[in-house]
């Protein structure tokens, strides 16, 4: 069972990955949190957008190679390579923070890579409103995230909704983080697992 967890900054992807990994005794693959460009990016997005996204893409490719060679039956991945391209890089390009030349180069590398990547059996999408995202970003207190603009988060939310509803082709399990708090209510975790197992079972 290969499950990927998608969602905006602060939606709770890492936390849910940890919870489900423990529940299933699975292998977790987390998003790189020490990207060498991330602090510079949040201070000057147009200067560092391309470098940031290329660094994330390279990290994701390396992670995928490791996943492909893994003997683990159950794998949970914190964010996907698809989000890097269709959400973050695309948004930066539309905002004028990544040039068309850089975006074209990025997408060429992305397109080559995706032919080597297995699609998740299930994609869990964590949907969350801007107030929820802002609250969780402040709560975890990462210094480089303190200057994230709410309009930027809102644009990403719009991108996620479009991607989930119109682009991504695969099984999707949607969790509303505004109402279903899997951190404080174990019943929500039970419900997520029940829904997840039903989807996986239906594909066999």
Instruction: State pLDDT tens for residues 41-97.
Output: 888 999 999 999 999 999 988 888 888 787 778 899 999 999 999 999 999 999 999
The separation between CA 51 and the C-alpha centre of its own chain, rounded to angstroms, equals 18
Query: d(Cα 161, Cα 166) in Å, to the nearest integer?
Result: 8
- Cα distance between residue 33 and residue 64, in whole Å: 16
Give the tens place of pLDDT for each residue, 163-186. 999 999 999 999 999 999 898 888
Residues 75 and 3 sit within 8 Å (Cβ to Cβ): yes
Please give the C-alpha separations between residue 139 and each of 12, 131, 136, 143, 151, in angstroms, as whole numbers: 11, 12, 5, 11, 19
Write out the residue range of the structural domain in which residue 114 sits. Answer: 2-202
Check if the beta carbon of residue 135 is closer than 8 Å to that of residue 14. Answer: no
Q: How far apart are CA 173 and CA 1, in angstroms?
A: 14
Structural domain count of the chain: 1
In this prediction, residue 126 has a pLDDT band, given cuts at 50, 70 and 90, of: very high
**CA 124, CA 56: separation in Å to the nearest integer?**
20
160-169 tens-digit pLDDT: 999 999 999 9
Is residue 78 among the annotated active site residues?
Answer: yes
CATH of the domain at 155: 3.40.50.300
Q: One of 40, 72, 78, 178 is an active-site residue; which one?
A: 78
């Amino acid at each position: 069972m290969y499950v990927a967890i998608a969602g905006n900054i602060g939606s709770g992807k890492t936390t849910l990955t940890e919870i489900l990994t423990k529940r299933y005794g699975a292998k977790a693959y987390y998003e790189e949190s020490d990207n060498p460009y991330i602090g510079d990016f949040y201070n000057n997005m147009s200067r560092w957008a391309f470098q940031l996204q290329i660094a994330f893409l390279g990290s994701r490719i390396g992670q995928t190679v490791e996943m492909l060679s893994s003997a683990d039956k159950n794998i949970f991945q914190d964010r996907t390579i698809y989000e890097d391209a269709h959400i973050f890089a695309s948004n930066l390009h539309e905002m004028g923070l990544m040039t068309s030349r850089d975006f074209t180069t990025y997408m060429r590398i992305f397109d080559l890579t995706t032919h080597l990547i297995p699609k998740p059996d299930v994609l869990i999408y964590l949907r969350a409103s801007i107030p929820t995202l802002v609250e969780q970003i402040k709560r975890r207190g990462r210094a480089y995230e303190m200057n994230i603009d709410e309009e930027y988060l809102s644009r990403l939310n719009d991108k996620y909704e479009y991607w989930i509803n119109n682009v991504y082709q695969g099984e999707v399990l949607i969790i509303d983080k505004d109402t279903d708090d899997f951190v404080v209510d174990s019943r929500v975790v039970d419900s997520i697992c029940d829904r997840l197992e039903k989807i996986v079972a239906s594909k066999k």
